[in-house]
Amino acid sequence: MAPTTIVWFRHDLRLDDNPALAAAAARGAVVPVFIWAPEEETPWEPGAASRWWLHQSLGRLSAAVEKAGASLVIRRGPSLDALRTLAREFSATHVAWNRRYEPAVIRRDTVIKKALADDGLAVESHNGSLLFEPMHVATKEGKPYQVFTPFWRSLLARDEPVEPGATPRKLRAAAATVKGGKTLSIDSLGLLPAIDWAGTMRTTWTPGEEGALQRLKVFLGRGVTAYGTERDRPDHEGTSGLSPHLHFGEISPRRVWHAVRETVGGTPAARITGSPEVYLRELGWREFANHLLYHFPHTTDAPLRADYARFPWANDPVGLRAWQRGRTGFPIVDAGMRQLWATGWMHNRVRMIVASFLVKDLRVSWLEGARWFWDTLVDADLAANTLGWQWAAGCGADAAPYFRIFNPTSQAQKFDPDQAYVRQWAGLGRDYPEPIVDHAEARKLALEALKVVSAGRK
């Protein structure tokens, strides 16, 4: 009897360059499955914006799987129970998935892999979401990197990432051999918010594999050659917009990496210069974030630099609420926070500005910011979110020094000189709020608070 493989889709919601799916399709019949078990990712279960995106993406994945000749089976967790039930229903011989690197998911997958193997199933996992896996990258001393530049150099010194695999032309569907539960509808998962606040998100994004490939095509056609300068201008369309697609695995980083290389004639990455190199380096930052999360899993909730645990964060619920709602009285900050609320996304330069404002002007803990971003970003990625907030707070790897405090006014003048971004998102009418802090005074208080950390190092 031909082998039957359960392919467990997670953050790899695509058919193209999907190693687990490709291996299963080459072997025999396939049972594609998605299992909704957010409690298994506690305390960082998917937030509201992520669930909205997932709802859309699952619909498009289901259609693509059906077009290829199979059906996407949707079940609720616990994941181990669901996989065991599916193995009985379809007389499966194999279970395959692409690896994830969040601490809770690693712990869960380790238990599941052993349990299914003990059941007599062949269990395999693949790399479908990174260029190079974190367990295979280390310093000459065999230690994890904590600074980006040497990490990036080490990646460039390696062979190019594996070429992306093709989309399977046909999936051989497996027939159920035992009567069991039917697939759930996507609507039954309850992913959409009770109040429809996602109106602008629907006009901004096209979740799914086709949407990801189209965004890549547009970016390569008009954006990558100017990315080095345009990426810092929130008033321009200068970024790729691929971050949520990469997070949900609707496109692989290998596909993006090699597509960028093709725009410069297939030049090896180590010899690429200018804007294409700057963009490849951003993919490197994504790799670095996952490298750090894998090797330092505690950083999701605690600073990598342990001495920052002494930092005297302020308890300021009023200031935090004003920041969350874009009512700080600083136009570039408020524009970013309102863009986030409306679209589930914020320009990266503005992310740095709003993060600096929260942790330094208001001295509110970076964890408060990380939690808010986690719930409101469609590209809420645990590795990137952790790295970004610890960078802003000065307590993580390759972090900005704490004394580097962004001035929101000068940042706006430099990167939004015509106030186009501010006018689009914040507005400057009569009801616009007064600044909730004096930046110069807030900067002095932040530097004074830093002395608590510095004193502990002596």
Q: Choose the catalytic residue: 53, 389, 391, 425.
A: 389
Q: Which amino acid is residue 95, in one-letter code?
A: V
CB contact at 8 A, 303 and 453: no
- Contacts of residue 214, defined as CB under 8 A and 6 or more positions apart, other chains included, come to 206
205 catalytic, yes or no?
no
Tokens of 404: 């580097």
Q: Choose the catalytic residue: 36, 205, 257, 285.
A: 285
The alpha carbon of residue 77 and the mean position of all alpha carbons in its chain are separated, in whole angstroms, by: 23
The alpha carbon of residue 114 and the mean position of all alpha carbons in its chain are separated, in whole angstroms, by: 28
313 catalytic, yes or no?
yes
CB contact at 8 A, 449 and 266: no
DSSP per-residue letters across 353-419 = HHHHIIIIIS---HHHHHHHHHHH-TT--HHHHHHHHHHHHT-STTPPPTT----HHHHHHHHSTT-
CB contact at 8 A, 99 and 125: yes
Go through the chain and tell me how many residues it has: 458
Tokens of 260: 């960028």
Tokens of 86: 């599916």
348 catalytic, yes or no?
yes
Instruction: Enumerate the β-bridge partners of residue 31.
Output: 6
DSSP summary character for residue 169: S
**Phi, psi angles (nearest 5°) of residue 129:** -130, -5
Angle between helix 348-356 and helix 331-343 axes, rounded to 10 deg: 120
User: CA end-to-end span of the chain, whole Å?
Assistant: 69
| CA pair distance 46, 39, nearest whole angstrom | 9
Tokens of 251: 């496109």
| CA pair distance 229, 226, nearest whole angstrom | 6
282 catalytic, yes or no?
yes
Q: Choose the catalytic residue: 41, 210, 230, 282.
A: 282
Q: Choose the catalytic residue: 36, 341, 366, 425.
A: 366
Catalytic residues: 282, 285, 313, 348, 366, 389
